[in-house]
Amino acid sequence: MAILAVNAGSSSLKFSLHPLQDGQVQPYVLSGCIQGLEPRGTPVMDWVYLGKKHSEPLAVSAGSSSFESALQSLRALVHRLEAAPDIQAVSHRVVHGGGVFTGPVLVTDEVLARLARFNSLAPLHQPHNLEGIRQFRAAFPQLPQVACFDTAFHASMPEVDFAFALPQALQEQGVRRYGFHGLSYQYIMSVLQTHTIRGRGRVVMAHLGNGASLCAALAGSSVATTMGFSALDGLMMGTRSGSLDAGVLLYLMEQGWTHAQIEKLLYKQSGLLGVSGISADMRKLRADGSAPAQRAIDQFTHRVIRETGALVACLGGLDAIAFSGGIGENDAVLRAQVCERLGWLGIRMDEQRNQAANGQGAYAIHAPDSAVEVWVVPTDEGRIAAKEAAALLAGQPVAAQRQAQHPALAQD
């Protein structure tokens, strides 16, 4: 048996198939992504099975949507692969669980209705996550569908960090910091604690990609993070602004900007793309070499350094820092610049190891005399989602599982 972990977006569907062995979730045997699912797109399915890469175009069946055809192709793929395990359940990454869902949940109509209330808090992700669940429920009606939340890992944050300086009545309505990228941080933390005792201490994790955030963890538990009420706060991102003086929004409203215009500006026209005017892709900006491209890179790097310093202050020091996400895992220049600017913490980089980090597994890139350990940890949100689903279906309390894995939590 296996758990199928999926992440449905506006134009893509990421998937990974994780076998169960003696009740334990194993690394995926099948992973891939179906892209081109937007209207008038050209769907293509790329996948890796037992280490071998494959790619094939997908035909959209008459009377079906691109997503429905993609699910048909995915189901056919799993059935035709030799020795592929049977699917026991489908586990979905859902960005926002609000303050209601702090652990995995079996999807029902009521659950979907409650999750839809958070659509406006993560408009780039939440509606597409939920539509993916609806489509999977229709395509695989016999399988349990489990929702796992990016906000859940941050449920341990103290009120002093999650509360805004607003009237209490607004907090009671749910206006507070939630934090995101939780499935990624949960995976990174589990890997760090396997590789180093420092993972049980004061850790900053950097999930840097098109969406970017930082998380401060103490004894394996999130205590502060840069993203907040929505996935806009904190670091500058690919197309998102990150932290912004609310007065800017008041000014734009006075100038006649509509809600739709402001939302488009903040979510789709800012960040690396907005500053450079060239691209949201860090690789393209590195290759471009122009002054606007360099300005965007420098601003992104500075924001990472600045916010890391704030989280270190919250932790009272730093034992380890871990880089993940598309930029964090692959941009050695950024890692070197961040660690150099944080040298006052006693961080010393091994540049040869930094250049050698290849995304194949957790890799230490600090020098032997570094006071802080530095790691590159390729994330695997799908495996965490699969573990959450397997634990839920087996009747195991997930929170209790985390305490057993991280005994320090039980002492808090």
At residue 225, what is the residue type? Answer: T
303 is in an annotated binding site: no
What is the C-alpha separation between 217 and 210, in angstroms, rounded? Answer: 22
Per-state percent for the chain, helix, strand, coil, to nearest 5: 45, 20, 35
119 is in an annotated binding site: no
361 is in an annotated binding site: no
159 is in an annotated binding site: no
281 is in an annotated binding site: yes
Parallel/antiparallel/unpaired status of strands 320-324 and 202-208: parallel
Looking at residue 103, the DSSP 8-state letter turns out to be S
Q: At what angle do helices 291-315 and 332-341 cross, to 10 degrees?
A: 50
Parallel/antiparallel/unpaired status of strands 87-94 and 145-149: parallel
34 is in an annotated binding site: no
What is the C-alpha separation between 181 and 271, in angstroms, rounded? Answer: 18
14 is in an annotated binding site: yes
Smallest CA-to-CA distance from 308 within 406, 374, 380 is with 374
Looking at residue 153, the DSSP 8-state letter turns out to be G
32 is in an annotated binding site: no
What is the C-alpha separation between 135 and 148, in angstroms, rounded? Answer: 17
What is the C-alpha separation between 58 and 291, in angstroms, rounded? Answer: 41
Residue with tokens 């190891």: 353
211 is in an annotated binding site: yes
358 is in an annotated binding site: no
328 is in an annotated binding site: yes
- The pair of structure tokens assigned to 333 is 């220049």
What is the C-alpha separation between 176 and 114, in angstroms, rounded? Answer: 18
DSSP, collapsed to helix, strand or coil, labels residue 206 as strand
22 is in an annotated binding site: no
Query: What's the first-to-final CA gap in the chain, in angstroms?
Result: 37
283 is in an annotated binding site: yes
Q: Give the residue numbers marked as catalytic.
A: 150
Residues flagged as binding site for ATP: 14, 207-211, 281-283, 326-330
Residues flagged as binding site: 7, 14, 93, 207-211, 281-283, 326-330, 381
Residues flagged as binding site for substrate: 93
Residues flagged as binding site for Mg(2+): 7, 381
